[in-house]
Structure 1
């Protein structure tokens, strides 16, 4: 994960003139005037590796009336850092623009055509590539949707997997009539640059070092360390479209609990909406299923309900295809399990590279809290700070307990061999 200082400070161009321009378009009123605005961070530091997000509260006058609106503004960092290097070519914004302007609207129309009122995510109100890469969305907080600070229990996971199953089914149904779906290929495996690969390689070495510190797990040190040479190419293969795959869907690509908004009523989640379609990729459904098991589900949910959730997701997927009137051959459940096994090295990779950021708080990750700003910002391209942070996270008892359980499983399944 990359943390940039400007995650907490809006760029200078994000001002009343820009907001006025965007609202004139979204409200279809060339005479609209912004009278007041306030901009604050829209997420916690490090929550989103592929963007920086702000919330803009705007007062404006339109057609003789005074109005207020809350907006979510997504853009890329201006300060130098790993995030900026990753995002500066605009590839992920191009993917998300296609998703919001073409794919998601077609999915929503398909749902409505069969009487399904499922809503996938927030409405896109404005998007621009020049002079700045920026997207503006409705603020779901105004509809009583909020974030969660922890991975999901079984109840919430089933709501999320129901959405994912419908998403996958809709993409499979629409793929031949909406050709752009099959062209989306900029998943995490494709967009990770050399800097990211170097960081992940270094982190695998650190995890191997920590394995040697755990009594009874010393033997795993060399096994983990041996992964760093070829794991990146293996992950790219998993994310790359392959004709031999049992069946393909459009994967969300970043299906973790921080990329969701939750409507909670009387302490119980009623609905979940999805965010961040920046790395959606056509490929094996195992990509999203494995990714979500580790980055969305809590350890308890994943360990005690894994097969139950896979079956639940599959049943929802089949039910949706049947409801849409899909005429192709529906793949059997065993095909999904075969795909999950074939893509199993993704489990090892996610456990080493992503899981610490999903189970540890920001304060636990950085090891200290800055009294002035509430956190210490840094970019992981700083080798010394990155090493300190990752060693601390791998040694954290929460993470250690999980990995000491999973390492034998990974070894017995062949996920530590390349």
Structure 2
């Protein structure tokens, strides 16, 4: 969430953010304080707004020293809608997750006396969050960071991330048991914020045309034959969600959106972030998204089955803590079937995120107009990863 920054004055906050920070200062009972506003470096950019950190240092009424590290995601009013996403809805969705749903779920975890180390890991959100600014604890000051999204993820990190994903997917089933009305009114109604149309088709074609040059002629031909159904199938995953949306999905679960803390050079804890695309969908989409964007062919060969098994066992174990039998809400047999029948979604995710994962300058391209206008300038490191995915799908009978 943070890096080296330029220190700015509090006037650099927009009016809404400034008002929210003032409320936090009052609520935290600061009697004297200083406020430093800082801009993250451009490499920590956000597609639909601009990021800032706020450091509040001072004393409380008991004369105790206190310091708050805050992370702000500011909505840019001029960017109300991109051609493939309803941006205001995306901000409202993340605000809902932090201000309401996670807080509700924490009360349920407390009711069932879930140990802290077994709870769903979330960044602390502030109630001053609104549709224009998301305010969170900046966990980078607690030594959390993100790994490079273009690299193959370490196994331990993948295991920790899969365990958290399973818990996130269990949330809807737990809330359904504890508060059926809330589930029907607030969770099942979380529709995807995507807008599918010609612009998305153009974007996919642009990504395909560039990526396929890394393939041999036979593989290239197979990919070209697959492309006509790509848009139709991708929208099925995002909207129809395999015909049976059953839980809350993250919808962008990848290395860039998972904070990690290390111990002795190895991942020891992870916290998922960025819930702007969250909706009521199907768990397989998140699982395949995470695996295919974070792995290469060797990693999948050696670890994919293990991660698949770990996902379901974690899902099963977490639900059991709330007296729910996983087999009754999403059977192991159905899970195995969904996983094996929908591997093509991994290819779609990889293509969709090419410019954001393998941009030549190591930065995500800036959305000025819409997806169809994004410059696609890729580092050659994507080639082996892409060949591996296409080769896997050919061997598995998808291409």
Tell me, yes or no, if the aligned pair for 2:120 and 2:168 is still in contact at 8 Å.
Answer: no
Residue from 171, 184, 188 that aligns with 2:190: 184
Question: Distance in 1 between the 2:40 and 2:197 partners?
Answer: 27
Deviation at 1:73, TM superposition (A): 0.5
Asked if residue 406 in structure 1 is aligned to residue 395 in structure 2, the reply is no
Deviation at 1:237, TM superposition (A): 0.8
Q: Residues 229-259 of structure 1, C-alpha deviation per residue, up to 9 Å, x if partnerless?
A: 33222111112246854x7221111111111
- The aligned residue for residue 156 of structure 2 is 155
Q: Residues 296-353 of structure 1, C-alpha deviation per residue, up to 9 Å, x if partnerless?
A: 4465433310011000111111111222101571533231121123433312212222
Asked if residue 224 in structure 1 is aligned to residue 226 in structure 2, the reply is no
- The aligned residue for residue 166 of structure 1 is 167
Deviation at 1:32, TM superposition (A): 6.7
- Pairs aligned (count): 381
Distance 1:135 1:386, change over 3 A: same
Tell me, yes or no, if the aligned pair for 1:19 and 1:34 is still in contact at 8 Å.
Answer: no
Distance 1:161 1:386, change over 3 A: same
**RMSD between superposed Cα atoms in Å:** 3.6
SS at match of 2:23: helix
Query: Aligned ranges for residues 317-396 of structure 1 at < 5 Å?
Result: 317-326=315-324, 329-355=328-354, 357-358=356-357, 360=358, 363=361, 379=368, 386-387=375-376, 389=377, 392-393=378-379, 396=380
SS at match of 1:253: coil
Residue from 207, 210, 213 that aligns with 1:206: 210
- The aligned residue for residue 373 of structure 1 is none
User: Which has the higher mean CA deviation after the structures are superposed, 253-262 or 20-29?
Assistant: 20-29
Distance 1:222 1:77, change over 3 A: farther
Q: Residues 270-303 of structure 1, C-alpha deviation per residue, up to 9 Å, x if partnerless?
A: 2111101111122221111101102244654333
Tell me, yes or no, if the aligned pair for 1:255 and 1:288 is still in contact at 8 Å.
Answer: yes
Structure 2 unaligned residues grouped into runs of 5+: none
SS at match of 1:127: coil
Residue from 94, 97, 107 that aligns with 1:99: 97
Deviation at 1:23, TM superposition (A): 2.8
Tell me, yes or no, if the aligned pair for 1:114 and 1:323 is still in contact at 8 Å.
Answer: no
Question: Structure 2-normalised TM-score?
Answer: 0.81
- The aligned residue for residue 310 of structure 2 is 312
